[in-house]
Chains A and B, each alone.
Chain A
Amino acid sequence: MLIELILVVFFVRYLRKNLDMAQSMPRWDGILKIILLISVIMIGLEFSVAPLRPYISWAAHLMMLYLIYVLYSQREFHTARPIMLAFAPYIIIAVATDVAKLTPEDYTSSFRSMLKSASTFSVIWMVAMWIITNRQRKALEKEKQKTREQHEQNQVTSSLKAQLEVQVAERTAELTRQKEELEQALSELKATQAQLIQAEKMASLGELTAGIAHEIQNPLNFVNNFSEVSVELTEELREEIAKLPINADQKANLNELSDDLIQNQQKINTHGKRADAIVKGMLQHSRSSSGLKEPTDLNGLADEYLRLTYHGLRAKDKSFNASMKTDFDPTIGQISVVPQEIGRVLLNLLTNAFYAVAEKKKLSPDNYEPTVWVVTRKMDKKVEIRIRDNGNGIPAAVKEKIFQPFFTTKPSGEGTGLGLSLSYDIITKGHGGSIRAETAEGSFTEFIIILPI
């Protein structure tokens, strides 16, 4: 039965190849290899040793049946089962034919002829099934290929997705950073805007005060001059009274009245002059920078004004005392400023500082040491002047107002409320710098002036 042996060889090869058995199930692959070897040997025997033919046929049947058994009993082979359908009828018929050969010929003659024709059909069946199965297999493979491609595509997609996610995360981080930067910028802008509004307020107040100041000078001209001339007139009146032929009592009365008038006129004049001083102070605000900038030794200027202010205050009040501490940066060199104006600012700030420590001294225990510091520092493209006192500080409620014109905490008549306002103008408008105060109530006040170089 050469055909059957060839079928076995063919079938084993088919299984080993299609199921990739060397990789996926090496144990079965070994067994199949042995079967393959036996089949090849038997094919050789079939040709060379004729008497063995019936046994070879049976051995082929057994191998074939074993293969069928394995195919149906082992799960791993289930994909190869359809091909079995092609071989099965032929094998069954071959077995049946050989079984029939064992029986006496006449007894089964009709059965044998039936088997012969069945054998022909089974061959046709086998070929047809083979073709169909192959076709199905090819279709399946195509499907598998498709699935594999899809899988590959999916893998590409998922790797792309992962890449995208990384990019998205990066962009999100970037955006978050930008957002934070923008928020930072916005808050800085808001702070600048607040400063600008404040500066604008000060500027318009400055213009307003300048206008008012000029207009007030006209009526003040009359107040001061009429009161002064009235003093003279009243004095003349007294001279005239002396010449009158009236009794002493009447003269005394008239003299008393005229004395009162003189006194009143003098008071009007004094207060008029006070108002004039305030107005002149206000006008210094609007005075266009008449002074010229010149290279100035800021340290020397600060030292000079510190001593000037201190001795000025000592001259007014002998009991006044305070220690002065200076820390000058010798690398500052010559700075281009209007020395008289910066001097005025220093004078204002130092007067305030000394005033603050003197006020605190009045109320403090003996161990309080009133001190005023002046510090200069050269920084990148700017210089800093700090004037610090260990007085009572500025209450938070008024800190915003200290640079406004006419704002003062000093008792009436002691301050015009123009010192800091004027200083603000000189530093910001006149010199393009900045001035601000740092303070803690009860412990210190520090004014920080920054001038660009």
Chain B
Amino acid sequence: MKILVVDDERDIQALFEQRFRKEIRNGEMEFEFAFSGEEALVYLNNPEHEAVLILSDINMPGMSGLELLRQIKHKFEAPPPPAPVVMMVTAYGDSENYNQAISLGADDFLTKPIDFNLLKEKLKNKA
């Protein structure tokens, strides 16, 4: 399962790679990283990409996570191919952000600090 992580914090890569080291080692999961909404779109526009799940931050410079979510859900609206699963991860867990994300079609909504045990559960269920 290939997962695209979108976050403007570069340390997120090290964190995910260490947190999911076992899953990566045994080939259960594969991670790709994009450090802005725009970068994520470039990656997703490549027809070769295999990401089935996207984890995106909301507050990012440039394109926000919500805008990215809107574009992804809009672009891949009609199946096939099926719209990828998008989970939002944010420090701003207020109801406004939550409602907006859900109305834009987010499949899940997590708050920072990330509870990786919870995240692992969710990823396994979505897969």
Say whether B11 contacts A222, CB under 8 Å: yes
Q: A290 touching B113 by the CB < 8 A rule?
A: no
Q: A272 contacts which chain B residues (CB < 8 A)?
A: 113
Q: Given that A215-B91, A288-B94, A288-B95 are contacting pairs, would A221 and B114 also be in contact in the complex, using a CB cutoff of 8 Å?
A: yes
Contact A229 B91 (CB under 8 A): no
* Residue of B15, B95, B116 touching A222 (CB-CB under 8 A): B15
- Judge whether B94 and A225 touch: CB under 8 Å: no
Residue on B nearest A210 in the bound complex, by CB:
B94
Chain B residue numbers with a CB within 8 Å of A410 are: none
Contact with A along B89-127 (1 / 0, CB 8 A): 001111110000000000000011110100000000000
Residue B71 CB within 8 A of the other chain: no
Chain A's nearest CB lies how many Å from the CB of B10?
11
Residue interface mask B28-64, A partner, CB < 8 A = 1: 0000000000000000000000000000000000000
CA distance A276 to B111 in the complex (A): 12
Across the interface, do B112 and A229 meet the contact criterion of CB distance under 8 Å? no
Tell me, yes or no, whether A217 is within 8 Å of chain B by CB.
Answer: yes
A229 pairs with B19, CB closer than 8 A: yes
Report the Cα distance A189→B72, complex, angstroms. 56
A206 → chain B closest CB, angstroms? 14
Interface of A is mostly: helix
Q: Which 4 A-B pairs have the closest CB atoms?
A: A217-B91, A221-B113, A221-B112, A229-B18
* A225-B19 contact given A218-B112, A276-B113, CB 8 Å threshold: yes
Give A208-223 as 1s and 0s: 1 = Cβ < 8 Å from B's Cβ atoms.
0000001101101110
A226 at the interface (CB under 8 A from B): yes
Q: Tell me if A27 is interfacial: C-beta within 8 Å of chain B.
A: no
Please indicate the chain B residues that have their CB under 8 angstroms from the CB of A222 in the complex: 9, 11, 15
Residues of A within 8 A of B112 (CB): 217-218, 220-221
Chain A residues with Cβ below 8 Å from B19 are 225, 229
Q: Are A229 and B113 in contact (CB under 8 A)?
A: no
Residues of B within 8 A of A290 (CB): 95
Report the minimum CB–CB distance from B117 to chain A (whole Å): 10
Chain B residue at minimum C-beta to C-beta distance from A222:
B11
Given contacts A226-B18, A288-B96, 12 further A-B contacts (CB under 8 A): A214-B91, A217-B112, A218-B9, A218-B112, A220-B113, A224-B113, A225-B15, A225-B19, A225-B114, A228-B116, A229-B18, A229-B116
Residue of B nearest to A220 (CB): B113
A224 CA / B117 CA spacing, docked (Å): 13
Name the residue in B9, B93, B113, B116 with the highest tally of chain A Cβ atoms < 10 Å from its Cβ: B113
Q: Which chain B residues border A169 with CB–CB below 8 Å?
A: none
How big is the B interface, by class?
10 to 19
**10 A-B contacts, Cβ less than 8 Å apart?**
A214-B91, A214-B92, A218-B112, A220-B112, A220-B113, A225-B116, A229-B15, A233-B18, A287-B94, A290-B95
Interface size class of A (residues with CB under 8 A): 20 to 34
Which residues of B are interface residues toward A (Cβ below 8 A)? Answer: 9, 11, 14-15, 18-19, 91-96, 111-114, 116
Number of residue pairs spanning A and B whose beta carbons lie under 8 angstroms apart: 44
A217 — which chain B residues lie within 8 A by C-beta? 91, 111-113
Given contacts A218-B9, A233-B18, contact A225 B91 (CB under 8 A): no
In the complex the two chains form, is A226's CB within 8 Å of B95's CB? Answer: no
Collect the chain A residues with CB atoms within 8 Å of residue B96's CB: 288
Which residues does chain B contribute within 8 Å of A220, judged by CB atoms?
112-113
CB of A231 to closest CB in B, whole Å: 11
Considering residues A224, A225, A287, which has the most beta carbons from chain B within 10 angstroms of its beta carbon? A225
| Inter-subunit contact B15/A226 (CB<8 Å) | yes
Near B by CB (< 8 A), chain A positions 288-311 give: 288, 290
List of B residues within 8 angstroms of A214 by Cβ? 91-92
Q: Which residues of A contact B18 (CB under 8 A)?
A: 226, 229, 233
CB contacts (< 8 Å) of B91 on chain A: these are 214-215, 217-218, 221
* CA distance in complex: A215, B114 (Å): 14
In angstroms, how far is the closest chain B Cβ from the Cβ of A211?
10
Among residues of B, the one whose C-beta sits closest to the C-beta of A236 is B21
The residue in A221, A222, A272, A283 that gathers the most chain B C-beta atoms within 10 A of its C-beta is: A221
Minimum Cβ distance to chain A for residue B59 (Å): 8
Q: Which residues of A contact B113 (CB under 8 A)?
A: 217, 220-221, 224-225, 272, 276
Assembly CA distance A165 to B5 (angstroms): 90
* B92 surroundings in chain A (CB, below 8 A): 214
Docked complex Cα distance between A288 and B93 (Å):
12
* A213 closest partner in B (C-beta): B91
Could you say which residues of chain B place their CB within 8 Å of the CB of A215? 91
Point out the residues of chain B lying under 8 angstroms from A226, CB to CB: 11, 14-15, 18
Alpha-carbon gap, A60 to B114, bound state (A): 146
Complex Cα distance, B11 from A411, in Å, reads: 35
- Rounded to whole angstroms, the CA-CA distance of A220 and B9 in the bound complex is 13
**Chain A residues with Cβ under 8 A from B93's Cβ?**
283
Task: For chain A, residues 258 to 298, give those with C-beta under 8 angstroms from any C-beta of chain B.
Answer: 272, 276, 283, 286-288, 290
- The distance from the CB of B75 to the nearest CB of chain A, in whole angstroms, is 28
Collect the chain A residues with CB atoms within 8 Å of residue B94's CB. Answer: 286-288
